[in-house]
Amino acid sequence: MSAPNISTETAVSAVSDVLVAIFSWLFLAAIGLIVSGELMARRIPLGIQGDARFRIDMYLFRIEALKDAVYWGFMLFVPTLGLVIWLGGHSAYDFLKSHAGLDIGQWHSLCAISSCFSIVIATACWFAIPIMTSSPIISETHRSEQIRKLEERLDPRRGGK
C-alpha cells in the first residue's frame, strides 16, 4: 500500500490552522484567564477550598492559576466573552482582522478580544480597589498604645480615676 498523497500546501495549511487555533484563542484566552484571575484573587480573595487548577505547561512557558484565581478568571472571562459577542460580534471580529492583519476566524477573535478585556478589567480593579478602601488615620502601633493608656486611666485597679 502506498501512503496517501497529501500536497505540501495542504499540510502547511493544516499546520497553520492548528497553530492559529492554539495561539489565538486557546493560548491567549488561557493566559488571560490566568492573569486576570490572579490579579483579582490577590485583591478580593474568595476563600474557596479545593483543588481547582488551570495550567499551561509548554516546553518553554509554564503558567498556572490555583483555587480563587481559577474561579475569578472564569468569572471574568465568560461574562466578558458574552458582552463581546453581544456588543461586538462580527464587528469586533472585523476590527481585529483589519487592525491586527490576521484572519484567525470569528470565534477565535472574539475569545482573544475577551481575554484582553478580562485583563484590562482585572488591572483596573487591581488599581481601583485600594483607592476605594479606607486606610486607618493612625498606625496600628499608635492606636494600640492609645487604647492601653485609656484602659489604664479607666481601670481603678491600675490606679485610674
Q: Has residue 147 got a pLDDT over 60?
A: yes
* pLDDT confidence band for 139 (50 / 70 / 90): confident
| Range of 39-53, 92-106, 112-126, 147-161 with top mean pLDDT | 112-126
**pTM of this structure:** 0.62
pLDDT at site 116:
86
Task: Give the mean model confidence (pLDDT) for residues 103-120.
Answer: 83
Closest CA to 126 of 51, 69, 63, 55: 69
Residue 159 CA to its chain's centroid (Å): 57
Using alpha carbons only, how large is the chain's radius of gyration in Å?
26
Q: Return the exposure string of 72-101: e unless at least 16 CB atoms fall within 10 Å of the residue's CB, then b.
A: bbbbbbeebbeebbeebeeebbeebeeeee
- Most confident range (mean pLDDT) of 15-19, 57-61, 105-109 is 105-109
Lowest mean per-residue pLDDT among 7-21, 59-73, 86-100:
7-21
CA–CA separation, 133 vs 127, rounded Å?
A: 11
- Rounded Cα distance, 54 and 64, in Å: 6
**Would you state the pLDDT for residue 160?**
52
Question: Residue 79's pLDDT is what?
Answer: 92
Task: Please state, rounded to an integer, the average pLDDT across all residues of the chain.
Answer: 78
The predicted structure's pLDDT at residue 20: 66
